[in-house]
């Protein structure tokens, strides 16, 4: 079912699910199918996922999917500048909720490095990401301010991170009002994904999406950069 009465651009599709559980299940099936297709076509698959609070149920459904996990590399769209054992760590979230059971065979390419500064950690992550290869599946989330990954409106590096010519794969980013600073993949790398999905829960995020669709200032709402490209949105109330 289409998402409420949203008028989506032709390259964007929208699927409305009845509940968070249904969204998690449907998303897990879509991602697993795309990873299987990638393994069939080129022998391996790269999955990039987002952090935050909402992906937990999706991770737990995805790890139960029949898949040759030993051929899958998992990485992150963004990370908090905290060690993996910290409760805010996106890598920690992936390790606890996705890389369990058979899915523990997947390779994890995390963004966090124990560097003396956020800038140095971003440089180390950027170098490590040279090994990532093509992204087969990217799963994005979105904040109520229209940020996605850690591409926050008004972050000092935002213009560079969104520019098509940005050579860095990862940059330091600032989340306004949030104490933990971030590392984010930049737009050229994120936009190279073969399949991009956006998972959204709740009326507030639907209202943010409507705002994003109504304007074109990408710096004000970085999610707009992805609404100009092929994108599959999965939403539930
Ligand atoms: O800060 C972040 O927020 C968005 C949305 O998170 P959610 O828990 O509200 O779904 C997330 O996609 C991003 O990775 C994260 O760093």
79 lines ligand 1 (CB under 6 A): no
Burial class (CB in 10 A: 0-12, 13-18, 19+), 101: exposed
Reduced to 3 states, what is the DSSP secondary structure of residue 34? helix
43 alpha carbon to ligand 1 midpoint, in Å?
31
Are residues 69 and 81 in contact, defined by beta-carbon separation less than 8 angstroms?
no
pLDDT for the residue numbered 8: 94
155 lines ligand 1 (CB under 6 A): no
**HSE toward the beta carbon, residue 78, CA cutoff 13 A:** 29
78 lines ligand 1 (CB under 6 A): yes
Position 21 pLDDT exceeds 80: yes
Position 1 pLDDT exceeds 70: no
Taking only the tens place, the pLDDT of each residue in 88-141 is 999 999 999 999 999 999 999 999 999 999 999 999 999 999 999 999 999 999
Pocket test for ligand 1, best of 23, 51, 54 (most atoms within 8 A of CB): 51
Query: Cα 203 to the chain's mean position, in Å?
Result: 20
Structural domain spans, the chain? 17-236
Between the two ends of the chain, the Cα-to-Cα distance in Å is 13
pLDDT for the residue numbered 52: 86
Model ipTM value: 0.94
Residues contacting 142, CB < 8 A, separation 6+ = 148, 198, 200, 205, 208, 209, 223
pLDDT for the residue numbered 222: 98
Helical (H) or strand (E) element with 90? helix 90-97
Taking only the tens place, the pLDDT of each residue in 180-194 is 799 999 999 999 999
| CA 169 vs CA 116, 181, 189, 236: distances in Å | 20, 17, 6, 31
Q: What is the pTM of this model?
A: 0.97
Domain 17-236 has CATH 2.60.40.10: no
């Amino acid at each position: 079912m289409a998402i409420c009465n949203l008028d989506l651009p032709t390259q964007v599709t929208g699927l409305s699910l009845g509940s968070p559980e249904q969204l998690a299940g449907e998303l897990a099936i879509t991602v697993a199918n795309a990873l299987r297709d990638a393994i069939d076509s080129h022998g391996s698959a790269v999955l990039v996922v987002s952090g935050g609070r909402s992906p937990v149920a999706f991770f737990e459904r995805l790890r139960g999917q029949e898949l040759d996990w030993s051929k899958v590399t998992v990485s992150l769209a963004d990370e908090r500048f905290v060690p993996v054992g910290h409760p805010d760590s996106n890598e920690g979230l992936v390790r606890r909720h996705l890389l369990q059971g058979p899915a523990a065979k997947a390779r994890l390419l995390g963004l966090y490095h124990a560097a003396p500064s956020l800038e140095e950690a971003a440089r180390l992550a950027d170098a490590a990401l040279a090994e990532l290869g093509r992204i087969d599946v990217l799963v994005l989330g979105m904040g109520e301010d229209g940020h996605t990954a850690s591409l926050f409106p008004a972050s000092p590096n935002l213009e560079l991170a969104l520019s098509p010519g940005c050579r860095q794969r990862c940059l330091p980013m600032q989340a306004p009002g949030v104490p933990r600073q971030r590392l984010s993949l930049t737009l050229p790398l994120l936009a190279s994904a073969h399949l991009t999905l956006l998972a959204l829960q709740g009326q507030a995020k639907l209202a943010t999406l409507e705002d994003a669709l109504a304007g074109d200032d990408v710096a004000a709402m970085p999610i707009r950069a992805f609404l100009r490209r092929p994108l599959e949105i999965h939403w539930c109330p």
